[in-house]
Amino acid sequence: MPGTAPEGGFALELRDVAKSFGSVAALRSGSLAVAPGSIHALVGENGAGKSTLVKIVAGVHRRDSGVFRLHGTDVDFGSTADSKASGVAVIYQEPTLFPDLSVTENIFMGRQPLGTGRRIDRAAMYAEAERLFAGLGVHIDPRRPARGLSIADQQIIEIAKAISLDASVLIMDEPTAALSGVEVERLFAVARSLRDENRALVFISHRFDEVFDLCDTVTVMRDGAYISTQSIADTTVDQLVAQMVGREVTDLFPKTPAEIGDVVLDVEGLSSAGLFRDVSFQVRAGEIVGLAGLVGAGRSEIARAVFGVDRYDAGRVRMHGSDVPAHRPRAAIRAGMAFVPEDRRKQGLVIDESVSRNVAGVIRRGLSKAGFLTSGAENRAAGPWAGRLEVKTSSLDMHATTMSGGNQQKVVLAKWLATEPKLLIIDEPTRGIDVGTKAEVHRLLSELAGQGLAILMISSELPEVLGMADRVLVVCEGRITADIARDDATPENVMRAATASIQHSPSQPVDAEVTA
């Protein structure tokens, strides 16, 4: 069981907590004990039960059994309001603020300070918000509307709200998934200052470098149960991964050398006002080219323009030497491109549609006979591709809604590999995917490159880029600032190129106050 109690007891303590939904046990025996003044990492594959545990603490779900204590007192939350009143705050990956209200109004929603005649005391509210931001060391205008704030800033607002409620337990559920390097650093600084105020923090992340950088203790979960708790100083990434998957994962990034062939994709002078300019690069058969850079540097925008879902102002895109018409995904597909986008649920697949129709989604034109397309033909075509990618589903007419992120990604990959592409553009191939599936995706990409597929991979995870890519192109503020061969690429030189011009010119067009 997780450790012995420190002096004064744990701030948050859960022991053998169980929760089932219908016949599915989401949590069999979850345990977590967090001391005040500590940043505690909670790690595990998707489906390990972390989110359920968090939702029990947040009052979203009620546990079926087990011990749940806050500061030594037994508690039982029936609603999120109960948990807030008891000093628990949860900061989600994508906070939900009211976009049309000001930052301050969002912080004080439902508990605005009142002045004379029960009117809202705006002056006091703004002053308090400014005090909170100053305490956190961030610069956000308390009067600006929440709309248009970066996800990083939205999280800061949620944290400010938690502090103003004097929360003693803060849980951050994958807060860094959508943040760039600079933003992660700022969040960490805030987290450390909260720890120094003797609050208890729980940090959920798939990124081990962050866990090791920020946290002091780590709890591992697997299959809905507690596995271990240990001090960060006493463990290694390999040990954690082994505990998470229940087996040794020897190599996370198994890119094997492939024979590099002819130029498949040739991009020349691609520009789009305000997004990127003068982007030129090539991808060859059998080559994995990594597009690295900060979130918001323009990497996804470049990929989207190449594939034709977005327009561009100047430049040309060629496949095997012939021009691909702009802004026509259909033409790009015909030229042999495949595009696995960043946002699986919104762009990658039609979530309320069956596995079969999703997988057959691009190739269906070839499946219709004499103008007739039947579900039978779609099933016959989709089945083998779903099987090849080992999609976990009970039947081909199941909707993708209920699937895990990793499984959905397999459906998206099956859909595009079914087109037998010459070039695969893949944006954040393993975001939000558990360790086991992640390794499968990496192995698959490596295997495909070995068979002569050209791959353009966008990734915010540096280890993934360095491990998988034959060549790393670094994008900074819409321009390619470095082209580094696999053997020369190091975390340091990639990060330097990714932040190079930001250091020279701190003013970015959007959210100027953020980078300061």
- Binding positions for another protein, rule: CB under 8 A: 22-23, 261, 285, 309, 329-330, 332-333, 339, 341, 346-353, 355-357, 361-362, 364-365, 368, 371-376, 379, 383-388, 390-391, 393-398, 415, 417, 420-422, 448, 451-453
Q: Shortest approach of another protein to residue 163 CB, angstroms?
A: 36
Spacing of C-alpha 412 from chain mean position = 17
Q: Which residue has the tokens 């790690």?
A: 43
Q: Which helix (H) or strand (E) holds 71?
A: none
For residues 356 and 459, which CB has a smaller minimum distance to another protein in the complex? 356
Q: Which residue has the tokens 């992120």?
A: 405
18, 35 contact by CB (below 8 A): no
Q: Shortest approach of another protein to residue 193 CB, angstroms?
A: 39
Q: Shortest approach of another protein to residue 33 CB, angstroms?
A: 31
Helical ranges in 151-298 per DSSP H? 151-164, 181-196, 208-214, 237-245
Q: Shortest approach of another protein to residue 160 CB, angstroms?
A: 32
**Burial of residue 286 (number of CB atoms within 10 Å: 0-12, 13-18, 19+):** buried
For residues 251 and 397, which CB has a smaller minimum distance to another protein in the complex? 397
Helix, strand or coil, per DSSP, at residue 115:
coil
For residues 287 and 477, which CB has a smaller minimum distance to another protein in the complex? 287
Q: Whose CA is closest to 271, among 305, 318, 321?
A: 305
Rounded Cα distance between 183 and 204, Å, is: 17
For residues 75 and 263, which CB has a smaller minimum distance to another protein in the complex? 263
For residues 351 and 495, which CB has a smaller minimum distance to another protein in the complex? 351
Q: Shortest approach of another protein to residue 378 CB, angstroms?
A: 8
Alpha carbons within 13 A on the beta-carbon side of 136: 26
Q: Which residues pair with 398 in a beta bridge?
A: none
- Tell me 63's DSSP state: -
Q: Is 22 left (phi over 0), alpha (psi -120 to 50) or beta?
A: left
Q: Shortest approach of another protein to residue 441 CB, angstroms?
A: 15
Q: Whose CA is closest to 408, among 461, 463, 343, 459?
A: 343
Q: Whose CA is closest to 391, among 412, 377, 420, 366?
A: 412
Q: Which residue has the tokens 């980078």?
A: 515
Q: Shortest approach of another protein to residue 292 CB, angstroms?
A: 23
For residues 210 and 470, which CB has a smaller minimum distance to another protein in the complex? 470
202, 12 contact by CB (below 8 A): yes
Q: Shortest approach of another protein to residue 345 CB, angstroms?
A: 9
Spacing of C-alpha 199 from chain mean position = 26
Q: Shortest approach of another protein to residue 304 CB, angstroms?
A: 9
For residues 131 and 345, which CB has a smaller minimum distance to another protein in the complex? 345
For residues 144 and 334, which CB has a smaller minimum distance to another protein in the complex? 334
Rounded Cα distance between 368 and 377, Å, is: 8
For residues 157 and 396, which CB has a smaller minimum distance to another protein in the complex? 396
